[in-house]
Each structure stands twice: as C-alpha cells, then as structure tokens.
C-alpha cells in the first residue's frame, strides 16, 4: 500500500504526495502498535480466565444461613 503512495510521489515530486506517503507509513506503524497491544491484552485476559475457580464473587462456602 505504501509503495503506491511512494510511486505517486516519485512521479509527481509534489510535497502533498510525499506527505500522503509519510502519513500512510505513520498510520501503519500506529496500527501495528495497537495490534501488538491488543494481542498482549488478550493473553492477559486468557491467563486470568484460566485461574478462575468458576464461583465468581460469592463462593459456595459462604452460602450459610
């Protein structure tokens, strides 16, 4: 995708086309960071689920009269 914008800049030499190319490059880097963060959050959530005792907040041992 970025190559398309670079090729357009190389043809035209316009500052606007260069800025579009840089914008796409930066947007790609930001998206990569968010994807990495989402993956790490999913791992943390799955670890928390595996340590659950399935009773939730109120434990069965606390069900006294």
For 13-63, how does the pLDDT look when each residue is reduced to its tens digit (9 = 90+)? 999 999 999 999 999 899 998 888 877 777 666 655 555 555 555 555 655
Q: What is the pTM of this model?
A: 0.50
Q: Output the pLDDT for position 63.
A: 58
Angle formed by the axes of helices 15-50 and 2-12, to 10°? 170
Structural tokens at position 39: 């993956």
Q: Output the pLDDT for position 20.
A: 93
Residue 3 sits in which domain range? Answer: 1-41
**Number of folded domains that form the chain:** 1
Q: Is residue 48 part of a domain?
A: no
- Higher model confidence: residue 12 or residue 43? 12
Q: Is residue 47 part of a domain?
A: no
Q: Output the pLDDT for position 36.
A: 85
Q: Is residue 22 part of a domain?
A: yes
Q: Is residue 61 part of a domain?
A: no
Q: Output the pLDDT for position 52.
A: 52
Q: Is residue 1 part of a domain?
A: yes
Q: Is residue 63 part of a domain?
A: no
């Amino acid at each position: 995708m970025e190559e398309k914008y670079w090729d357009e800049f190389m043809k035209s030499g316009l500052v606007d086309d260069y800025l579009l190319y840089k914008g796409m490059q930066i947007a790609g880097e930001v998206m990569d960071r968010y994807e990495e963060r989402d993956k790490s959050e999913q791992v943390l959530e799955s670890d928390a689920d595996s340590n659950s005792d399935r009773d939730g907040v109120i434990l069965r041992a606390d069900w006294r009269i």
